Chain A
Amino acid sequence: MTRNRPTLAGLMAGAAMALVAGAPAFAQEGPIRIGVLEDQSGDFAAATMVKVHAIELAAKEINDAGGIDGRPVELVVYDTQSDNRRYQEFMRRVLQSDKVDVVFAGFSSASREAYRPIVNQFDGLAFYNNQYEGGVCDNNMIVTGAVPEQQFSTLIPWMMEEYGPNVYTLAADYNFGQISAEWVRQIVEENGGTMVGEEFIPLGVSQFGQTIQNIQATEADFVVTLLVGAAQASYYEQASSASVGLPMASSVNVGQGYEHKRFTPPSLANMFVTTNYIEEIDTPASKDFVERFHAMFPDEPYINQEAANSYIAMNLYKQMVERAGTTDHDAIRAVLAEGDVCFDGPSGNVCLDPKSQHMSHTIYLAKVNDDHSISFPKVWEDIKPYWLGEAGCDLTKNDPSAQYTPSSPPPAQ
């Protein structure tokens, strides 16, 4: 009896190898597999559940219309739990064992920097559909979120003109907050203003008594709030109850965490946000998007800019694969390098920039009114993600796979 066992095992191993060997040929005909790593629980879930839904909506629409190049889209979704280690774990899993064609991943910049080395290691392709502090120059990444030159070079000069030159920055203490604050500092100086204060808040802090007092002790004309996560969002309620009364400017609020819907008016009154999409935007394309979204997800609390970006990213990926005729990453990048990968979606027309693989945006200045309704005092059309390209990042020529900031730009060629 015992002699039979190795033979049986050998047979099974042989069968398994045959299956593995047959797999690639089969995959070309089979569905296009898209990995989705987003936080569906934990501190960030409030802002990121909707991204998963946006991807599901796009996948359904693409499949209903015949798929990508005739192949259906199949989503491989994991909950990353707002935990950077989960991102690394699941990024390895989707790239190595699920063998997905492309990954849509990440909310916080810390999570993106946690998974990016893994995407590079396995030469994967990842879409990061979040607004962030900018500067990622990496061939394996396509970024559809807005970056500081799009959000701050519009917002800060407008605020300074409207309210005065003295600026106080309140930022979350990790790479996003630190680098965004550096951008604010630079733009304030360029426009002849003064930084009267700057404070970095550790993630998870929810008590702001002292911070509020520090702000009141200065002559600030407005406060730039770059606070992240549910705990830090307690600031608005506390500042409002202490009657700080200063206008606020932000790149993350409203457009991401829909604080104006969650908090009692008027705690967010006089908040100004530059965003590339929110559901209040009053264009036919936006209204149509909101309608289709609610048809599939009737209980969706809010459709934020990241939802629109994720939806746009799915459609951009479809276009690039269809133009390339394959899901091969080099072929997709060759299409991107042609410089005319554009999509006219919920937020208006957007195009991918070949040098940085970032996206141009229509930037809306959203103002939160006293009753927490939204008005749009200004719209900037077709704002390009110019900084990386001007600073010397050119992904069509080389791939440094690095993140740059204004104080540490790409090395001169």
Chain B
Amino acid sequence: MALFQSVFAMLYQFGDTFAFLVISCAGLAVIFGMMGVINLAHGEFIMCGAYVTASAARGGLPLPLAILTGALVAGAVGMVVERLVIRHLYQRPLDSIIATWGISLIATQGVLIVLGSTMQGIGTPLGSIDVGGRSYSLYRLVLMACALGLLGGLYLLFYHSRFGVIARATIQKPQMAYALGVNTGRMYGLTFGLGAALAGLAGGLYAPTMTMVPTMGATFIVESFVTVVVGGADIFVGAAPAAAILALIKAGLTAWYGQLFGQIGLLVTVILVIRILPGGLSGWLKGTTR
């Protein structure tokens, strides 16, 4: 029983960290990993999703619907931002850093001014379960399932749907896709919107577990960038295994030495990966199989 208890505890922590990394980096993996736009406003799309989710849930919508609303609103905002700002900067990645950083500052400060410094939370649903004398939040288990579901859904979308094929073609060889009759501008907009919607989904999913403040997106951003950088350009060959490896490192170090070493472990890993595998995990895996 003691063995089962500690194995379950370890698996739970691993799954919890894995879910956090996957859910918070999915949107960034699409926008940064696939499209190559370094989106420093990622955290603010997350914040947007969380705020919309919390408002909708307090307005009486059931939580799953509220989360979906949060994701859709964030996606719509993303498509507007893409049309107005990002579209003009696809060939200028350094300028897009400045532009998205500016958007992030405007969003944080704008929310602070309009909605105030905090928003009342909505409380974590579902309660807890007892395993071997320790209690665990049931909602965190739902989050783990969501992370797996998210990966599965994205896989189907990008590899088994017409949208996915065209999106990948547009991003890999835009001229060729354009020559074959694809409306590449629209595809870019939709893909960016999808990335923003995924960020909004992350905000919605974590909204019930966190403090609602305008700067809440910042707590996601380090983990998301670390995961995407370690993973490289491909979500499935890169970001998913990267999240698993990082979750193992972070959960392990946090369990043994505390939160500080968990953070240090993440950052040391990303430094090593940048040095040894500049293309990230996916670059390395694809290179060896080629």
Q: A46-B117, A202-B259, A242-B128 are in contact. Are A231 and B16 (CB under 8 A)?
A: no
What CA separation (Å) do A213 and B32 show in the bound complex? Answer: 34
Chain B residues whose CB sits within 8 angstroms of the CB of A42 once the complex forms = 215
Residues of B within 8 A of A113 (CB): none
A21 to chain B, nearest CB (A): 42
Chain A residue nearest in CB terms to B262: A210
Enumerate chain B residues within 8 angstroms of A49, measured Cβ to Cβ: 117
Query: Is residue B251 contacting chain A, with contact meaning CB distance below 8 A?
Result: yes
Chain B, Cβ-Cβ closest to A48: B117
A233 at the binding interface (Cβ < 8 Å): yes
Query: What are the interface flags for B131-151 relative to A under an 8 Å C-beta threshold, 1 for contact and 0 otherwise?
Result: 000111111100000000000
Contact B259 A201 (CB under 8 A): yes
Q: Given A204-B219, A209-B140, are A233 and B134 also a contact pair (CB < 8 Å)?
A: no
Task: Give every chain A residue within 8 A of B135 (Cβ-Cβ).
Answer: 216, 242-245
Query: B74 to nearest A CB, angstroms?
Result: 19
The answer to the question of A267 belonging to the interface, with a C-beta cut-off of 8 Å to chain B, is yes
A201-215 Cβ-contact flags toward B at 8 Å (1 or 0): 110111101110110
CB pair B258 A209 closer than 8 Å: no
Question: Are B117 and A204 in contact (CB-based, < 8 A)?
Answer: no
Residues of B within 8 A of A261 (CB): 120
Complex-state Cα separation, A145 to B185, whole angstroms: 58
The answer to whether A209 touches B13 (Cβ under 8 A) is yes
Separation of A265 and B120 alpha carbons in the complex (Å): 11
How many angstroms between the C-alpha atoms of A234 and B216 in the bound complex?
10
Is A238 touching B118 in the complex (CB atoms < 8 A)? no
Known: A202-B263, A204-B219, A209-B140. A240 touches B118 (CB 8 A): no
Q: Which residues in A have their C-beta under 8 angstroms from that of B152? A: none
Minimum CB–CB distance for B109 against chain A, Å: 6
Task: Identify which of residues 239-290 in chain B touch chain A, using a CB-to-CB cut-off of 8 Å.
Answer: 251, 254-255, 258-260, 262-263
Q: Which of B33-41, B193-201, B205-213, B226-234 contacts A (4 or more CB under 8 A)?
A: B205-213
A213 to B6, CA, bound (A): 10
A263 to chain B, nearest CB (A): 5
Q: A49 CA to B112 CA in the complex, in Å?
A: 11
Chain A contacts for B208, CB-based, 8 A: 237
Is B216's CB under 8 angstroms from A210's CB? Answer: no
In angstroms, Cα B185 to Cα A72, docked, is 61
Complex CA distance for A49 and B135, rounded to whole angstroms: 37
Which of B17, B109, B216, B219 neighbours the largest number of chain A CB atoms within 10 Å of its CB?
Answer: B219
Chain B hits for A267, CB < 8 A: 123-124
CB distance B120 to A262 under 8 Å?
A: yes
Q: Which residues of B contact A242 (CB under 8 A)?
A: 128, 135-137, 140
Q: Which residue of A lies closest to B130 (CB)?
A: A243
Given the complex of chains A and B, what is the CA–CA distance between A77 and B258 in angstroms?
Answer: 39
Task: Give the chain B neighbours of A264 by CB distance below 8 A.
Answer: 120-123
A210 with B121, Cβ < 8 A, contacts A173-B260, A238-B137, A241-B139 known: no
Which of the residues A41, A204, A209, A214 comes within 8 Å of B17, measured between beta carbons? A209
Question: Is A45 an interface residue when CB atoms closer than 8 A count as contact?
Answer: yes
Q: Which residue of B lies closest to A230 (CB)?
A: B213
- Do residues B219 and A211 form an inter-chain contact, with CB atoms below 8 A? no
Tell me, yes or no, whether A301 is within 8 Å of chain B by CB: yes
Q: Contact check: which of B109, B211, B254 meets A262 at CB < 8 Å?
A: B211
9 contacts between A and B (CB under 8 A): A41-B109, A173-B259, A205-B259, A211-B259, A214-B255, A237-B211, A262-B118, A262-B120, A262-B121
Extra contacts, 14 of them, besides A231-B216, A242-B140, A262-B118 (Cβ < 8 A), are: A199-B258, A200-B258, A201-B260, A205-B219, A209-B12, A210-B254, A230-B118, A230-B211, A230-B213, A231-B219, A234-B210, A241-B128, A262-B119, A264-B123
Chain A residues near B (Cβ < 8 Å): 41-43, 45-46, 49, 173, 199-202, 204-207, 209-211, 213-214, 216-217, 230-231, 233-234, 237-238, 240-245, 261-265, 267, 301
